[in-house]
Amino acid sequence: MAKISDVVLLICSLSKSEKRYFKLFSSIQEGDKFYLVLFDLIDKGSADRSELKKKFEAQAKKASFDVTLKYLFKVLMKSMRAYDAEQNIDAVLLRLLQEARFLYKKGIYAECLSQLEKVKVLAKKHEKNYYFLEAANLELEYYTRTDFLNLSEQDLIEKQGAISTIIDHEKQISAHADLYQLLLHRFVQKGVVRSEEEKQKFDDLVLSEAGLISNPHYHSFHSQQLHLLFQSVYFRLIGTPELSLDIYHELDALFQKYSFLWEENALYYIYVMEGILNNLQAVGQYEGIPFFIEKLKKLNQKDREEEQLWALIYQFEIIFHIGQKNFPEAKKVLLYHKETLAKCAKSLLSAANAKVFYYNALVYFGLKEWKNCLQSLNLILNNDSSLVPDEYVTMSRMVALIVHYEMKNHEYISYEIRGFERKLKKKGTLYRLEKLLFKFFRSAIKSNDVRSEKKCLVACRNDFKSLTDQHYEEQFLKLFDFESWLEAKIK
């Protein structure tokens, strides 16, 4: 049975057209429709289970909450299958395969084989190898049952060879995808490499990837995409965003060349744009950000990508202004999207909306609106952050400490750094940056006058200047300008 969190997450992820389709689909269903009451409650933001159950039982007194939840999930999945059947190439290929099977059962062999040939041609064009293999194997099975009707031995060998070629390519793709996923998992979980020892842990993946791409027969859009994605993530991970940015531009050119392969699912291209924007931020080329934001805005995306696309565009519109220290303009962007941000705050915490909340906090920080800043950070820190990259959770806690320092909540700081430090030590992620901050807070909150406090700030600033010479720490510092804050406090 689906959990309430799964159903909430599913409904929150639906686009306007998907919700509209679900309502139309439900209108042709028979019987009581208590599940629509539950759908509307979730859609309006009642995500807490106990609160949701009470509201539902008050409106649908004859219905069981658990049974209705289960049925709602079932109808949602059924309607989305029907919705997808009208939207993408996979649905077209699946329909052609079903028609071919039906024609064979009715003894219409020539048309059956013609349908299978259509599937193979279409699947090969769109690099849908699973459907090619399914059609090719069905084709040989039908030829076998009909005693190889009108099929020469040479034709048979060629068809078998085509299957072997696709299988070999799929094995390579699978191995390549495994390597990329492992690298990406380490990057998402740990963030940028912060020591030479950590960098050496990735040598095995790099060597394995080099072995794969050396195969002269391994070549397709998918293989090139995986190679460039692997390289771009690796360069970001080891703290060379300039090289990663070059790779992402190659990816952009590749996607433009093969646009027909991803147009129906723009998420893949959105990931490429996100990589370019992340690297522009990392190298401090803020002036280049608006060009790619406009490129995203013009993207002919499906409704289902709207939410993720909005989060990405919003995040970098904020970053563009923060990077130029123009916090009033950043706040104008924030206020313009106030309604969407309120909805975002009611959703389950994800990597996308956690970044939105973090950059909201930086806007408020730049404007010295400390309570609003903490409120944004608490949306990350007081919720389940298992889907959020460690670096954003860690940085959120550090920024929160600075805000409490500005608000002179010294007793809270003393309590917080004990637990924070203990947690980082346990995970083995207590690095120089965190040690410097803990050292500063411990000495600063003990200061009895302005002079001694300023002495602590100057000492911390000098420590940070040496820290920026450390290549691995420098990339992590891109998330918050500690040195500018220290300079401002000293002055």
- Give 264-298 pLDDT, tens digit per residue: 667 778 888 888 888 788 778 888 899 889 888 88
Q: How high is the mean pLDDT of the chain?
A: 85
* Count of domains observed in the chain: 3
Residue 305, pLDDT > 70, answer no
For residue 391, give the nearest of 191, 199, 185 by alpha carbon. 191
Residues 30 and 95 both lie in one domain:
no
CA 340 to chain centre: 19
In a domain, 204, yes or no: no
pLDDT for the residue numbered 159: 92
Residues 410, 469, single domain; the answer is: yes
**100 part of a folded domain:** yes
DSSP assigned state of 127: T
Q: What pTM value is reported for the model? A: 0.63
Buried b (16+ CB within 10 A) or exposed e, 6-45: ebbbbbbebbeebeebbeebbeeeeeebbbbbbbebbeee
Distant-in-sequence, close-in-space partners of 343: CB < 8 Å, separation ≥ 6:
45
Q: Which of 47, 64, 85 is the last residue of a domain?
A: 85
Higher pLDDT, 384 or 319: 319
Residues 80 and 95 in one domain: no
Domain identity same for 472 and 486? yes
Q: Kindly state whether residues 46 and 119 are assigned to the same domain.
A: no
Neighbour count for residue 459 (Cβ, 10 Å): 16
Residue 260 clears pLDDT 70, i.e. is over it: yes
Q: Is 424 a member of any domain?
A: yes
Instruction: Report whether pLDDT(18) > 90.
Output: no
Together in a domain, 33 and 99? no
Last residue of a domain, one of 98, 122, 151: 151
In a domain, 273, yes or no: no
Residue 96 lies in a domain: yes
Once rounded to an integer, what is the mean pLDDT over residues 426-441?
Answer: 87
Asked if residue 268 belongs to a domain, the reply is: no
- Token pair listed for 240: 């060379």
Average pLDDT in the 314-320 region?
Answer: 94
- Check: CB of residue 269 under 8 Å from CB of residue 299: yes
Cα-Cα end-to-end distance for the chain: 60
Q: What is the pLDDT of residue 49?
A: 61
The pLDDT value recorded for residue 330 is 95
Tell me: do 139 and 59 sit in the same domain: no
- pLDDT band for position 380 (50/70/90)? very high
**Claim to verify: residue 30 and residue 101 sit in the same structural domain:** no
Same domain, 452 and 422: yes
Distance of CA 300 to the CA centre of its chain: 19
Of 57-66, 295-304, 399-408, 442-451, the range with the lowest mean pLDDT is: 295-304
Q: Are residues 9 and 94 both part of a single domain?
A: no
Q: Is residue 35 part of a domain?
A: yes
Residue 473, pLDDT > 70, answer no
Is pLDDT above 70 for 210?
Answer: yes
Among 85, 116, 137, the domain-final residue is: 85
pLDDT digits over 35-66, tens only?
A: 888 888 888 765 556 678 888 888 887 788 88
CA–CA gap between residue 171 and residue 28 (Å, rounded): 44
Evaluate whether residue 234 is within a structural domain.
no
Task: Check whether residue 483 and residue 409 sit in a common domain.
Answer: yes
Q: Looking at residues 307-326, what average pLDDT do you find? A: 90
pLDDT of residue 259: 82
Q: Is 58 or 152 the better-scoring residue by pLDDT?
A: 152
Query: What whole-number distance in Å separates Cα of residue 164 and Cα of residue 167?
Result: 5
Residue type, 15: S
Q: Are residues 36 and 132 in the same domain?
A: no
pLDDT at 22: 86
Domain of 484? Answer: 389-491
Which two tokens mark 354?
């956690």
The closest alpha carbon to 93, from 57, 120, 72, belongs to 120
The percentage of residues in the chain with a pLDDT greater than 70, rounded to a whole number, is: 93
3-state SS class at 64 = coil
Q: Mention every residue, 6+ apart, whose C-beta is less than 8 A from residue 176.
A: 209, 212, 223, 226, 227, 230
Which value, to the nearest 10 degrees, does the dihedral of the CA atoms of residues 81, 82, 88, 94 take? 80
pLDDT at 308: 77
